[in-house]
Amino acid sequence: MDTRTLGSSGISVGAIGLGCMGMSYGYDVGTGDDEVSIDVIHHALDIGVTLLDTADVYGPHINEELVGRALVGHRERAIVATKCGIVWRPDFKHGRNGSPEYVRAACDASLTRLGVDYIDLYQLHRIDPEVPIEETWGAFSELVAAGKVRAIGLSEPTLDQLQRAHALHPVATVQSELSLWTRDWLIDVLPFTVENGIGFLPFSPLGRGFLTGALAPRTFGEDDFRSTLPRFSEENMTANQALVASVAEIADRRGVTSAQIALAWVLAQGPQVVPIPGTKKMSRLDENAAAADIVLSAEDLADLNALPAPVGGRY
């Protein structure tokens, strides 16, 4: 697989990464098998999908522990990314904590759960509105100086927050939702990352599974995060089927899958972009990885860029 660089950090990763959250948290909880997930992670490393993304809130904690078990004997092949800053609550109405004391303690705890001496990419999962970003980011920069972290990133910052943090210490990456049905960051944040040598890690590049065409309108259980999202109400899923059909039509034209078209569009947003689709299935991992080889034509891009906005908000 071709590689891309995580901003000015110089860290090289496969052009497509692996989001590990769904292996133990968020989607269809209870349907995963840890040993299968570990096999998926090992296979990812074998095929060049080297960026593994997790967070302390996933579970909480159990996803980091799972990734840690998968890393035994494989640490040198993986680029490990994790996050802190979200305080877990069982109803998904999570809190935020950006205090320097919390950041330092959270990093030490993640190092222990992952079983590693350092974290390649440590990210602020969400910015705490009660703590100036300069205070939180100062604590993150101290972790780099201490050798506990190689590079640091932000998740879902506004342009102003990103600019303020970057002025204090280089932001290696921004991780925000980006897909054919979530394009908010194309307006100002993504251009700033291009201008300032910052990597961009799109999460949910497949629309939390919706853009693959595999999700018929349905209801989700209370332990599935999508049950809280407006776009995943049964009514809105029905309304958004037209968008899915359009993606499928373009995929058929190219002889690939809808998921691959959706990922190829994300990759086409710039050489600093490394999408991190999640899966706990070997076949889906291979399908996603193959999207790195797809080059969209001008006609493909024009048709995809013209897709309508989805019905329903993100949150």
As annotated, the active-site residues are 58
Whole-angstrom distance, CA of residue 130 vs CA of residue 187: 26
Q: Which of 166, 203, 263 is nearest to 54 (CA)?
A: 203
Contact assessment for residue 265 and residue 301, using Cβ atoms and an 8 Å cutoff:
yes
Structure tokens at 180: 């054919």
Contact assessment for residue 175 and residue 154, using Cβ atoms and an 8 Å cutoff:
yes
Contact assessment for residue 17 and residue 215, using Cβ atoms and an 8 Å cutoff:
no
Axis crossing angle, helix 282-290 with helix 34-46, rounded to the nearest 10: 30
Measured in Å, how far apart are the chain's first and last C-alpha atoms?
34
Contact assessment for residue 77 and residue 50, using Cβ atoms and an 8 Å cutoff:
yes
- Integer angstrom CA distances of residue 60 from 56, 73, 83, 90, 91: 6, 24, 12, 9, 12
**Strand 149-155 relative to strand 173-177, pairing:** parallel
Please state whether 11 falls in left (phi above 0), alpha (psi between -120 and 50) or beta: beta
